[in-house]
Structure 1
Amino acid sequence: MGIVFINYRRDNTAGEARALFNSLVQQLGAERVFMDVDNIALGRDFREVLRQRLDDCEVMLALIGRGWADARDAAGQRRLEQPNDFVRLEIATALQRNVAVTPVLVQDARMPSADALPDDLKPLAFRNGFEISHQTWDSNVRELVARLGLAPAGHSDAPRSRTPMLAGAAMLAVAAAAGAWFAMQEPPAPPTPTAAATPDTAVAPAPAPASVPPAPAPALPAAQEAPREIPTPAPVMAAAAVPSPSVQALVAALVGPDVQARQDAAATLERDHLRSREAVQAALAYLPYERFQTLGTVAQRSRLLNFLLATEDAAWTPELRAEGARAIASVQARMRANPGGFRAENMQRVDALAARLGA
């Protein structure tokens, strides 16, 4: 699950926004809740931060208090009519991206009618709202979390992520115990015919026949061992075809669950790797539908598609194009069979990538 974005007007619902933020952090964790006052570092361009957070946002909670639709500035102009009003811009952007925008009614406010909203906010009037009361705040927030399908912090991915770690630790412990047991059970090495064995005889000991007296290792076995020590070209070619660990880690961060890591990886890839064939190859590993569907959020999927769309033609060999075309065709086929399982913006990205690769 991605970020829960709290949209509010400071002079209208600042207190309720703070209380909701604190309640959601307790249930979901601080990394999954965004409110501009707390989450924009000093010196950062807040417009860019808001854009990035909206890229990773899956749920927006638009706090609506009394007088929200008719709030005015010092000049008496209605704020929602101003194109640079951030409350309006955030909600309009989220609606365009088909984010689940939920009006949260506080202060006994009522849902605004479509006629009271500018054109880009009119869809908000048809979204199901949720009322939170001061008297029943805690129970209301718990119900909101449940109805939105947001797993509380105690039931999030953390326990699942610890399970493989515990299993891995158990396997390592078993392996270590087994190794120690076999070490204790290993019989002593048979005595060698000479006190100082050469490396060749140590690698491939061959006891001499009883009728032949012990002798130093002949030159012939050493000559026979030498060719086996020369690396064959096949492993070198295979290693060159695999993306470097650093690039693989970068792409893994791009599609991973950590929001900040996704943003950092996207910036690095867009800056340094748009012409990189190994970056394209590493990204294509996540594109076949069987792998694509394991990316848990819309933001993770969109980051992958955005990077592949942004890469330059020089990064695509004919083999990579063919591989990409097969992979995106599998996603496109599932998308057509179940369009409700895809967000509109990602459906557009899938079609755009398929067109680019000739799928």
Structure 2
Amino acid sequence: MQTALEFQPLRLPEHVQRLRAEVRAFIRSEIDAGTFDPDSPEEDWSVHKQFAKKVAQRGWIGMTWPRQYGGQERSFLDRFVVNEEMMASNAPNTVYFTADRQSGPTLIKYASERIKSEVLPKIIAGEACFCIGMSEPDSGSDLFAAKCKATRTDGGWKINGSKIWTTNAHRADYMIGLFRTSSPTDKNRRHGLTSFLVDMKAPGITCNLIDQMSGVRDFNEVVFDNVFIPDDQLIGEVDGAWKQATTELAYERSGPERFLETFAVLRKLVEIAGSKPDARMTEAIGGLVAELHALRRMSVSVAGMLEAGREPVSEAAIVKDLGTLWEQDLPQRVRRATAHLPIDAASYGGFEQVLQFNTRIAPKLTIQGGTTEILRGVIARGLGLR
């Protein structure tokens, strides 16, 4: 039982900072070339695919993975700065992001050699997009209550049921899905869940897009109707997937994407405040940047724990809980900070557009990756309080 939380101070080494400069220069060249606009999310999927190829050519996908699959065995801190720069600039990294962050590491640890040899090189080449099948319509983030069922059949399994809030499922090549293969026991609610690698082009899969008020269409309800999954697509042990699911969530919940998703509004605030903001604006910006710095230090600390081979489940949950609440509230705090600014039509117009978009995406941030209520349960369990 864990009884204490640990966020050790960690400074990024010099070679990592050199990598940051390299990534930053690459991003600037892509922005200057008109590949994407950091103030507006890129929705053209062909742009995301082309960008993934460019990132892959630089060796920035699967950086931490074993060389035998095409990885470079670099550190989680290297990956952290690449991810941080991509998120801060709103780069079109959707094709490879989920696979690089959590799906690939899950496959490396639990999948068969055949799956690893076949799928990991595709991810590293920027050619495979993954989605995650965990939450369900009737249970949300309570994965113990999952009902989407996998039933044994000749040569494999038949899957029936649905998953929800499944980001980019309509574009994904693969899903790592958590399915009910037997009932939980009275002594162990975690029993009976199994992970499979799902080919998203398999017959019987329907992706129903979920509209959002931001206009972005990435959430889905995924419906499985007698979808056949071969035996060799099993990931890990039958009925014992809960441990690997918690490992996967430690990767998912701790990165800079958990506090940088609405970062564009803070960047625009600094831009319109100018080089000599008054005392009120200086205080507002200083407070927001200080809070951002604290969240970032916590996230870097978790990256250091992952680098050391640990599974900081509670610490990752804290980063996600605090980070998403902060980024969710950021647009309104920035709006309040501008209340006394004179309105300049040219600069303020662009700011207002960014602010409106990020205000609309903010409500979803405490859903994706696990709701606030579920996260606090994870933290309480880690502290031995439940």
* Higher helix fraction (1 or 2): 1
* Higher strand fraction (1 or 2): 2
**Normalized against structure 1, the TM-score is what?**
0.28
Per chain length, whose mean CA-contact separation is higher, i.e. which structure has more relative contact order (CA < 8 Å, sep 6+)? Answer: 2
Please say which structure displays the higher CA radius of gyration. 1
**Normalized against structure 2, the TM-score is what?**
0.27
